[in-house]
Amino acid sequence: MQQIPKQIHFIGIGGAGMSGIAHILLELGHKVTGSDLKLSQVTERLEAQGAICYAGHVAENIGDAELIVISSAIPQHNPELVAARNKGVPVIHRGEMLARLMDRQKGIAIAGSHGKTTTTSMVGLTLEKNNLDPAILIGGELNDIGGNAKFGKGQYLVAEADESDGSFLKLRPHVVVVTNIENDHMDYYKSEQKIAEAFEQFIGSIPPDGLAVLCLDDLKLKQMVKYLNCTYKTYSVDNHNADYNIRNIRFDGLKSAGDVYYQNRLLGRLELQVPGKHNLSNALAVVAVGSYIGLSFERIAKVLKTYRGAIRRFQLIGEVNDVRVVDDYAHHPTEIKATLKAARQAKIGRLIAVFQPHRYSRTRDLHKQFGSAFNEADIVIINKIYSAGEKPIEGVSAQLIVDALEENLGRKIIYLPEITQVVDYLVNIVRPGDLVLTMGAGNIWTAGVDLVERLKEN
């Protein structure tokens, strides 16, 4: 196990993955400094713990740091990164620092193109409520722990594993969960084969006494299990041949439930306070992990029944005059389909989908798939692309998605590039019974917040 120096500097400390790691290091007694383009509630929270955070990037920020942590988002010309290399200060990727933390405990790493934040949250909460005192690192904010990280002295560290830049391959977990494998992040992987190979390597990283928990509803994983040499368990909401499966599914408003079976033996009834088959699937993975570490189904199900969701995962922003406004991080076609289907199960009038595309490269690669992802929505509003730091690509705009949607749905799609335009439009068209669902990995959630405030004013 590699030692972690006492004084560490994070370039881009406000990011979801970076801030969680910084939180744990502060709890362990390390001196942490960091910088970001601007300060935020996240950096304020770290400063309250004892971190020193700087707005903007200048060489002097690294101070006497003994180690620099960066993410893939940090460009090579960043002045702090340049200064660190000129001084000979070691620089490591965020994934390597997570790996060093994970080596202190038994790692439970959750990966997948989507569903990993919710599944990580559910696993972490289940261990926490069963007094196992895990360390938890999530790519989002979990209501139940008041943030994206929790320090724990128990034997387990539960972490979301980021496949977007291949950094999950730096981890050495004891248990892995893979929810699905999609053709995403093609700017990094370049081909479907390389994505599959990376996940296969990740799954194969577990020790002989470890466990892989794999979703059999995913076609790539279904093919992959035929060739795996490690110990694994499968789960499914549709395939009764999986080790863990769920039957007799029922939906009641924004709640979900079903009977859980392990190898055709009934374990009991699972009830969730969040909607959708995709969340029942995530919960099945938790049942598999919990069972492996020795928890009874009853103890697992008791915690999952209290799970209130992660922030920006089907989060109810507000309800005014029977108009519900919900926000979700969904930014991939498969996620959007699942989120809209979950919304449709609630007893609602019209389903109004507001989508902000995320990244030019994803829009270029997946615009046709986006065109068939909104069939459940009664009204579709498309916002302009949130770049996430990417440079524009010639010929790529949100209009590609609008055109694909109009071709698929055969009706007019509303394109409103500015968030203020979205809010103004919604204020004038919503009516009692509507569910407005904002989706995207950028700042589209602010439209939902503003809409609720405007509706209250009216």
Q: Which residues are catalytic?
A: 116-117, 160
Residue 155's H or E segment, with its range, is none
Distance CA 147, CA 16 (A): 10
Quick one: which of 308, 292, 309 has its CA closest to 300? 292
Distance CA 42, CA 34 (A): 12
Distance CA 130, CA 303 (A): 8
**Cα–Cα separations (whole angstroms), residue 189 to 93, 164, 196, 239:** 18, 9, 10, 30
**Cα–Cα separations (whole angstroms), residue 322 to 97, 433, 455:** 47, 5, 11
Distance CA 203, CA 161 (A): 12
Distance CA 288, CA 326 (A): 30
**Cβ atoms of 25 and 50 closer than 8 Å:** no
Burial letters for 12-49: b for 16+ Cβ neighbours within 10 Å, e otherwise?
bbbbbbbbbbbbbbbbeebbbbbbbeebeebbebbeee
